[in-house]
A and B are shown apart, each in its own frame.
Chain A
Amino acid sequence: MDLHLTNARATAEERAAVDSDLGAPESSWQGAQRQTVDTRAAFSGDATNRRHRLLPLLHRIQNRIGWISPGAVNYVALRLNVAPAEVHGVASFYGMFSLQPRPRVVAHVCDDIACFTHGSDKLCAELERTLGAAAFPCSDGRAIWLRSQCLGLCERAPAALVTSAGEKSYERVLAPASAEAVASLAEDAVYGRLPAEPDVLNVKTSAPQAARKNGFSPLRLLHRIAQGGASTLEAYQKLGGYRGLRKALELGPESTLRELFASRLLGRGGAAFPTAQKWEALFLQRHLLSEKRGRAHYVVCNADESEPGTFKDRILMEGDPFAVLEGMTIGGFVTGARRGFIYLRGEYPLAAERMQQAIKTATESGFLGDNILGNGLQFDVEIRRGAGAYICGEETALFNSIEGYRGEPRNKPPFPTQSGLFRQPTAVNNVETLVNVPGIILEGGASYARVGTKDSAGTRLFCLCGHVAQPGVYEIVMGSTLRQLIDLAGGVAGSGKLQAVLLGGAAGTFVGPEELDTPLTFEGTRAIGATLGSGVVMLFDHTVDLRHILLRIAGFFRHETCGQCVPCRVGVVRQQEALLRLVSGKPLGSAEQEITLLREIGQAMRDASICGLGQTAASALESAVQRWGLFL
């Protein structure tokens, strides 16, 4: 609010985009015409308290105009009583926002590793030929195509997402995509002839196992999707929905928590932290809610699934949105939180639509709101959409993002259960974790714990992609081997000869064909120095040049580092540079020296980065070098 670098003013359309969220400004200090009273007082408190509207406002402008101009930044700054520099800082943090003029129609074409195995390089080359170079306007300047990071549509690679800004904005998914289809969808967008739905969930393509008559095992997480999905409340209830919540209400918070402890459910987002322990931490602070002014608890659903190759949460939200809400509501009941947030990945239009619709229906039908199921329970859920920043999947970065700050991770401790969203005790859980909860309460924690292994209870979703016969989401009992999982998905595709499997996505590790009998459990993968991470299982046949995959991963981290702490900010750049020298056969000194340098960089990032991004940025590379002596 001090520095006004430009006198740029918002256009009427930009103001309308902001006002459609906040209402018309009340005083000249927030952008209205100056009146006498404005020269005597400024009631800015309410504006200051709504800083958390910043990200939604930026979305509105981007969706309406197609880019965020300095004038729009200034207007948002006025409306929220925030310095324009801060607004700029936040807007420039996210990949989906453009601070340069850009055509209203944008085709984001994924060139990430999973799509690469399905010819995204050829697709991009074709687009370059037909539409011109990426990031240059085409179609008479009315559209533009951009290379994009993973869009989370890996089971239908290669993928594209077309967005069209305007009074009514559109997001349309195209997967699998061809150059003609991308060009024609962009053309349709320019002339407002887009399909009605952003996307469709085709169970056969996205969850082939669930579509089969006899799956591998009884499905716990995908069973409603297997039965045609539950996007309406009726369908959801018919398929057993909200019975878990009812049971929890009968049991009371303490017993519900006990069941959860008994289930030994570990978080499915990647860090594998006991869910019950998080909820208990909030439960134990419940007495403070009434005693302390301004104290609140929050349940946050981390649906910012951005790990390249991951798409399981998307399919759960698209096919079974009420299950996410039910899990969160039980979370609210146990933890004493009255508000929940779903931080939903910006690139998931259908999931956002389905979740939004589910929240609306649930609220109207008494499954959310002030008196849930007549029990007096209060719980509301709000969706906040990400805007193309991988780091916002890190829980504390996610909080900052919701609060309207740059999505930079915070130092831990304090942990979210002590000081999370809005500096209040917060339980943050992954989508898949939450979807597990109603079933656990219903069948009992002990019974759930008998599924899987001692240290890895329950079933787990895996995202199979790359060179696999039937890519998609698969649910298996923990303890099944990697080989069994790949067989379930029809075996290796491409050349048919497996070269490597990337477990856990860009932040994960490579394993070789000789490691296929590894049991897919937390402890099993740890034993071979790998990780389950977010459940990515990406296959590469023997024709793939892994060095290029590594280079793409290095490029991904360079792009996604938030730049807050030095080891990561510098490390990911140095890592990519060294890799580039190795790949192009021009090492500084010998290849051994470059590998030593890369190891040192990796070690520095592991030791000194404050969050998981820097700590895992070298992991895939190191696993490949260690297993296959790549570059040596």
Chain B
Amino acid sequence: MILLWGSNARETHPIFFHHLLKGMRNSAELYVVDPRRTSSARWAHLWLGLDVGSDISLANAMGREIIASGLANERFIQHATSGFEAYKAHVEKYTLERAECDTGVPAEAIRKAARAYASAPRAQICWTLGITEHHNAVDNVVALINLALLTGHVGRYGSGVNPLRGQNNVQGGGDMGAIPDRLTGFQHVENDQLRAKFEKAWNVKLQSKSGWHLSDMFEAMDHGNLTRLYVLGENPADSEADRRRALKRLGGLEFLLVQDLFYTKTAELADVVLPAAAGAFESEGTVTSSERRVQRVRRTVPPPAGVRDDLDIVFDLARRLGHDWGTPDPEAIWNELRSLSPMHCGMSYRRLEEMGGIQWPCYDESHPGEMFLHGRLWSEPLIGPRAPFSVVEFEPPVDQLDEQYPIRLTTGRRLDDYNTGVQTGKYSSPLRRREALDVSPEDGERYKLREGEQVLVTSRRGSLVAPVRFDSALRPGLAFLSVHAHDQVATNDLTIDAVDPKSGTSEFKATAIRIERT
């Protein structure tokens, strides 16, 4: 059983979805939770069309139903978890009736999904941005993790909680320490002992406090605390929520350096642009996939004239800043990393090549890597700390609906394009259609719209004009825009930058809008 929650993997992870279809051919059942009846949902055994942002109420109600129907895995709960009693008491108030009221999903559907998830021999929850692009993103995630702990669908073959990563190396970015509070291998920067190890190896003093995440940085620009920015492979000029404000902030910087494959919208604003080689085939190194598998990537073609490898650029910058690191050697850098990050320690280039990649953690050169991460929860006796249940409360999205802004706009991706379209927009696709505001046929009738007609879409932050398209995957009161084509439809002019303080992610998924004929 696969529970796809807040993910339209059919369009956003098409290769993964092929594997999923194979599973379905082998009699796995797919359940999809999504406000829209997406193309993924069309493959589902059961689709639950909840209100945007009501995920926690749905998850808590499923938890309550699982407990009430005696399907909780009590042995696992006792053996490997903590905080169950508090969780049980907390979800007591999330009755099916209440959840139906919060989410709009019929109680019967919630009951079915809960029982199917709990009684499946193997079940996994997969999610993407429908869970994480909310002001309470982390709460959403732990609400799902609660379900896995409740049923023991974790740490075993075919089970688990899987965030589907957006790119081939999102996981790798985190592993390498490109997060504000962690050094390589998720070692906390505020842990003196760990930090000391790095300081010794690098012979420098490291900052002892966590850094800023993206949203913090943009806020810091307002206060003049951040005046210089080095952007690698990002396009915040299009991808930030409340885009107009983001553009103003970027415009106020003293110095902006952009390093990218493409001349992005952000690059247009930059003082200096450094053209970079493509990671997939013009440089040497590794990537880490969603399943924590570290794989080698190799240079198959040299980059075009004037374009340099990321390592080359960084090494040269360091030299100009007074640190001569010598000539970059990807394998030597990797081996240095292995010496500092225990979970990568056993992954020599030779082994990565021989084994076709290794899933971390891999502590030494005899370690085969781990197929799933939380297998320890099943070991007798338990190894490591107990996995905690978390008590989380449903909170509606920040941008509330009212008479002025009666329609819920949610954003996402379509099959043909990737995020702001930097990597995809220039390619033709037989299925791509002009970006349009998708609305339900009922709303089309209600606002007396013709398909294809240009409408004025206004949120509390801005407005835009877009053609309208009817889509029965949407219900009355729900509209959809992609984030791909900001030169056509600047979706993020509408979105809100209400940020989850724990993850730093904005609530892209829930905007209040109104639609007017032009």
Chain A contact residues, CB within 8 Å of chain B: 1-2, 28-29, 34, 37, 39-45, 48, 81, 294, 423
B24-50, CB < 8 A from A: 26-27, 29, 37, 39, 41-49
B303 at the interface (CB under 8 A from A): no
Distance in angstroms between the alpha carbons of A37 and B49 in the assembled complex: 10
Cα A40 to Cα B27 in complex, Å, equals: 25
A40 touches B49 (CB 8 A): yes
Per a CB cutoff under 8 Å, which of B440, B441, B475 touches A40? B475
Main secondary structure of the interface of A (DSSP, over half): mixed
Complex CA–CA separation, A34 to B105 (angstroms):
16
Find the B residue at minimum CB distance from A39.
B475
Task: Give the shortest distance, in Å, between A408 (CB) and chain B (any CB).
Answer: 14
Residues on B with beta carbons closer than 8 Å to the beta carbon of A2: 10, 39, 42
When distances are taken between beta carbons in the complex, the residues of chain B under 8 Å from A39 are: 37, 49, 440, 474-476
Q: When A40-B104, A43-B109 are in contact, do A28 and B472 touch as well, CB less than 8 Å?
A: yes
Whether, in the assembled complex, B406 has its beta carbon less than 8 Å from a beta carbon of chain A, the answer is no
Indicate which residue in B43, B112, B475 contacts A1 across the interface (CB closer than 8 Å).
B43
The 3 closest A-B pairs by CB, nearest first: A39-B475, A45-B45, A41-B109
Residue pair A42, B44 in contact (C-beta under 8 Å): yes
| Interface assignment of B467: CB less than 8 Å from any CB of chain A | no
Asked if B106 is an interface residue, CB under 8 A from chain A, the answer is yes
> Shortest distance in angstroms between B223's beta carbon and chain A's nearest beta carbon?
44
Query: If the complex has contacts A2-B10, A294-B27, are A41 and B475 also in contact, measured as CB distance less than 8 A?
Result: no
| A-B contact list, 21 entries, CB within 8 Å | A1-B42, A2-B10, A2-B42, A28-B472, A29-B37, A29-B42, A34-B441, A34-B472, A37-B106, A39-B474, A40-B49, A40-B104, A40-B105, A41-B48, A41-B49, A41-B109, A42-B49, A44-B45, A44-B46, A81-B42, A423-B27
In the bound assembly, the distance between CA atoms of A532 and B402 in angstroms comes to: 80
The residues of A that contact B27 with a CB separation of less than 8 Å are 294, 423
Q: A422: shortest Cβ distance to chain B, in Å?
A: 9
Report the minimal beta-carbon distance from A514 to chain B, rounded to whole angstroms: 53
Q: Which residues does chain B contribute within 8 Å of A28, judged by CB atoms? A: 472
- Given contacts A2-B10, A48-B45, are A41 and B440 in contact (CB under 8 A)? no
Chain A residue numbers with a CB within 8 Å of B41 are 42
Partner of A44, one of B39, B47, B105: B47
Other than the given A1-B39, A41-B105, 10 more pairs (CB < 8 A) read A2-B42, A29-B42, A39-B49, A39-B475, A40-B104, A41-B46, A41-B48, A42-B49, A43-B46, A423-B27
Contacts of B476 in A (CB 8 A): 39
Find B47's partner among A42, A294, A423 (CB 8 Å cutoff).
A42
Q: Which residues of B contact A423 (CB under 8 A)?
A: 26-27
Measured between beta carbons, the chain A residues less than 8 angstroms from B112 are 43
**Which label, helix, strand, loop or mixed, suits the secondary structure of the B interface?**
loop
CA distance A81 to B48 in the complex (A): 16
Q: How far is the CB of B100 from chain A (nearest CB, A)?
A: 9
Interface residues of B (CB under 8 A from A): 10, 26-27, 29, 37, 39, 41-49, 104-106, 108-109, 112, 440-441, 472, 474-476
Cα of A41 to Cα of B34 in the assembled complex, Å: 10
| 8 Å CB contact of A41 from B39, B42, B106 | B106
Q: How far is the CA of A44 from the CA of B106 in the complex (A)?
A: 15
CA distance A42 to B472 in the complex (A): 13
Question: Are A40 and B29 in contact, with the CB atoms below 8 A?
Answer: no
Once bound together, how far apart are the Cα atoms of A48 and B31, in whole Å? 12
What is the CB-to-nearest-CB distance from B98 to chain A, in angstroms, rounded to a whole number? Answer: 16
- Of chain A, the residue at the smallest CB distance from B36 is A39
Bound Cα distance from A40 to B29, whole angstroms: 19
> Which of A34, A41, A423 has most B Cβ within 10 Å?
A41
A43 to B44, CA, bound (A): 8
Q: Give CA–CA (A48, B440) in the complex, Å.
A: 25
Please, how many angstroms separate the alpha-carbon atoms of A425 and B39 in the complex? 34
Closest beta carbon of chain B to A40's beta carbon, Å = 5
Q: Flag if A45 contacts B105 (CB, 8 Å).
A: no
- What residues of chain B lie closer than 8 Å to A45, measured between beta carbons? 29, 45-46
- Does the CB pair B472–A41 fall under 8 Å? no
| Closest Cβ neighbor of B49 among chain A residues | A40
In the bound complex, what is the Cα–Cα distance between A29 and B440 (angstroms)?
14
Rounded to whole Å, the gap between the CB of A425 and the closest CB of chain B is 15
The minimal Cβ–Cβ distance linking B18 to chain A, given in whole angstroms, is 12
Name the B residues within 8 Å of A44 (CB-CB): 42, 44-47
Residue of B nearest to A40 (CB): B49
Report the bound CA distance from A37 to B476 in whole Å: 12
Q: When chains A and B are docked, how far (Å) is the Cα of A423 from the Cα of B104?
A: 38
Contacts of B474 in A (CB 8 A): 39
Q: How far is the CA of A28 from the CA of B440 in the complex (A)?
A: 14
> If the complex has contacts A2-B10, A29-B37, are A40 and B109 also in contact, measured as CB distance less than 8 A?
yes
User: Once bound together, how far apart are the Cα atoms of A42 and B38, in whole Å?
Assistant: 11
- Measured between C-beta atoms, what is the minimum distance from A577 to chain B in Å? 34
- Across the two chains, which residue of chain B brings its CB closest to A37? B106
User: How far apart sit A200 and B107, CA to CA, in the bound complex (Å)?
Assistant: 58
**B431, closest chain A residue (CB):** A3
| CA A294 to CA B1, docked complex, whole Å | 14
Cβ–Cβ < 8 Å partners of B42 in chain A? 1-2, 29, 44, 81
Distance from B52 Cβ to chain A, minimum over Cβ atoms (Å):
13
Interface contact A42-B10, CB-CB below 8 Å: no
Bound CA span A2–B37, Å: 12
Complex CA–CA separation, A39 to B103 (angstroms)? 12
In the complex, chain A residues whose CB is within 8 Å of the CB of B475:
39-40
Q: From residue B62, how far is it (CB to closest CB) to chain A in Å? A: 14
- Among A28, A40, A81, chain B packs the most CB atoms within 10 A around the CB of A40
Query: Taking CB as reference atom, which chain B residue is nearest A45?
Result: B45
CB distance from B469 to the nearest CB of A (A): 14
Please indicate which of the listed interface residues B10, B26, B49, B112 has the most CB atoms of chain A within 10 Å of its own CB.
B49
Residues on A with C-beta less than 8 A from B26 are: 423
Q: What A residues does B47 contact at CB under 8 A?
A: 41-42, 44
How far, in angstroms, from A294 to B37 measured CA to CA in the complex? 29
Q: Which residue of A lies closest to B39 (CB)?
A: A2
Chain B residues in 8 Å Cβ range of A43:
46, 109, 112
Would you call B46 and A42 a contact (CB within 8 A)? yes
Task: Give the complex CA separation of A255 and B379 in angstroms.
Answer: 48
Which residues of B lie under 8 Å from residue A34 when comparing CB positions?
A: 441, 472
Query: A160 CB to closest chain B CB, in angstroms?
Result: 41
Q: Which residue of A lies closest to B113 (CB)?
A: A41
A40 touches B106 (CB 8 A): yes
Complex Cα–Cα for A522 and B440 (A): 67
B441 CB contacts on chain A under 8 angstroms: 34
- The docked-state distance in angstroms from the alpha carbon of A423 to that of B10 is 26
Contacts of A40 in B (CB 8 A): 48-49, 104-106, 109, 475
Which single residue of chain B is at the shortest CB-CB distance from A29? B37
Cα of A425 to Cα of B440 in the assembled complex, Å: 47
A43 to B37, CA, bound (A): 12
Instruction: Note all chain B residues with C-beta closer than 8 A to A294.
Output: 27
CB distance from B22 to the nearest CB of A (A): 13
Bound-state Cα–Cα, A423 to B24, Å? 13
Residue among B10, B26, B47, B105 with max Cβ neighbours from chain A (10 Å):
B47
CB distance from B44 to the nearest CB of A (A): 6
Given A28-B472, A34-B472, A42-B39 contact (CB < 8 Å): no
Q: How far is the CA of A28 from the CA of B109 in the complex (A)?
A: 16
CB distance from A273 to the nearest CB of B (A): 27
Query: What separation, in Å, do the CA atoms of A1 and B41 have in the docked complex?
Result: 10
Q: Tell me the minimal C-beta distance from B57 to chain A in angstroms.
A: 14
Q: Which residues of A contact B106 (CB under 8 A)?
A: 37, 40-41
Chain A residue at minimum C-beta to C-beta distance from B103: A40
For the complex, what is the distance from the CA of A29 to the CA of B44, rounded to whole Å?
A: 12
Please name all residues of chain A whose beta carbon is closer than 8 Å to the beta carbon of B29 when the two chains form the complex.
45
Contacts of B105 in A (CB 8 A): 40-41
Q: Identify the closest chain B residue to A2 (Cβ).
A: B39
Expressed in whole angstroms, the Cα–Cα distance for A48 and B42 within the complex equals 10
The CA-CA distance from A28 to B10 in the complex, in Å, is 21
- Output the least CB separation between B506 and chain A (Å): 27
B50 nearest CB neighbor, chain A only: A40
Contacts of B45 in A (CB 8 A): 44-45, 48
Question: How distant is B46 from chain A, measured CB to nearest CB, in Å?
Answer: 6
